[in-house]
Structure 1
Amino acid sequence: MPVAISVETPLQDDVRGLVEQLNAHLLPLSPIEFQFKMTVEEMACPHTTVFIARDEGGRAVGCGALRVHTPDVGEVKRMYTLPEVRGLRVGSSLLDAITRLAQGKGLARLILETGTGPGFTAAWRLYERSGFTRCGVVLDYPDTEHSAFFEKRLSPLMH
């Protein structure tokens, strides 16, 4: 399924709806105190870039964000695709766009926190296929059995 991926503001009704679906999807998968969600308002801050995947009809079918923490480190946040487009490489396309932006910004490392358990198997597979490897605790996340951490070392983009 062809999708267009672009940088957009999260402060749009359809993107808010997508983030609401993401939050609802995550709710039963981990204890609430170990769900580290960004609101759409937080996603709209200057150090975060939000990518939206839209289908041929313009419907938002996926999202992902890059949050820059330091000149060297960026974090993948709010990765989600609608259930009906899973398996169609929408998540991979979003992650590729995030990675390219991180490389373009000269970041040396991309990190992410995700959950554990069977509900996160597909996410782990996506990250590992995209070159991420498991790592120890990152940033100020708690060291808990409910979180898995991944990293990817980046090479600068050649112009």
Structure 2
Amino acid sequence: MDLQIRIDPLTGPEVAALLREHLDEMQRISPPESVHALDLAKLRQADITFWSAWSGGGLVGCAALRELDGWHGEVKSMRTTAAHRGRGVGAALMRQIFEQAEQRGYRRLSLETGSQPEFAPARALYRRFGFAPCGPFAGYAEDPCSTFMTRTLAGAHNRDER
């Protein structure tokens, strides 16, 4: 698949529709207090970089990276369109996030995803990329509907040493 991943300004109707679908599904699966997906306005915050993935002129997925502090980032808003699941879009977006995190000098990446069966493919993707279970981070609380995962970044270094 010919895939182009780019930083997205979050202004296009395709991205808005995919994010609406993402939020709707999270709200269908999880109780309100367990939905941690961000809406369009929250994804526009200065501490978040958002990417969209395109193939054949159509949107096929998205992902975001939130800076928690100078050494720690959080993966947010990973979503692949239903028609493109299992075709490497999520993996390509994860590689983009890792590249950016390492450029920023992050030492750790963490994420929150659901614990329900519907999230099993996402958890499998994250495990493939070296994420392991951890406790809540960055203000999250223990929640039976949440799975928290983290991983140390290989080659992480102090930005002050560059």
The interval holding the TM-score normalised by the smaller chain is over 0.9
Structure 2 contact 115–147 (Cα < 8 Å) conserved = yes
- Alignment of structure 1 residues 10-159 onto 2, 5 Å: 10-56=10-56, 58-156=57-155
- In structure 1, runs of 5+ residues without a counterpart are none
Q: Report the identity percentage.
A: 32
Q: Which residue type is aligned with residue 76 of structure 1?
A: V
SS in 1 for 2:144: coil
SS in 2 for 1:137: coil
- CA shift digits 1:30-78 (9 cap, x unpaired): 112110121212111211100100012x211100000001001100000
Which range is displaced more, 79-88 or 6-15? 6-15
**Alpha-carbon separation, structure 2, partners of 1:136 and 1:118:** 20
Structure 2 contact 5–53 (Cα < 8 Å) conserved = yes
TM-score if structure 2 supplies the norm length? 0.92
**Count of matched residue positions in the alignment of Structure 1 and Structure 2:** 158
Which range is displaced more, 149-158 or 13-22? 149-158
**Alpha-carbon separation, structure 1, partners of 2:24 and 2:85:** 17
**Alpha-carbon separation, structure 2, partners of 1:150 and 1:3:** 27
- Please report how far the alpha carbon of residue 157 of structure 1 lies from its aligned counterpart in structure 2 after TM superposition: 6.9
- In structure 2, runs of 5+ residues without a counterpart are none
Residue 8 in structure 1 maps to residue 5 in structure 2: no
Which range is displaced more, 76-85 or 34-43? 34-43
Q: Which residue type is aligned with residue 14 of structure 1?
A: E
SS in 2 for 1:151: strand
**Alpha-carbon separation, structure 2, partners of 1:2 and 1:138:** 36
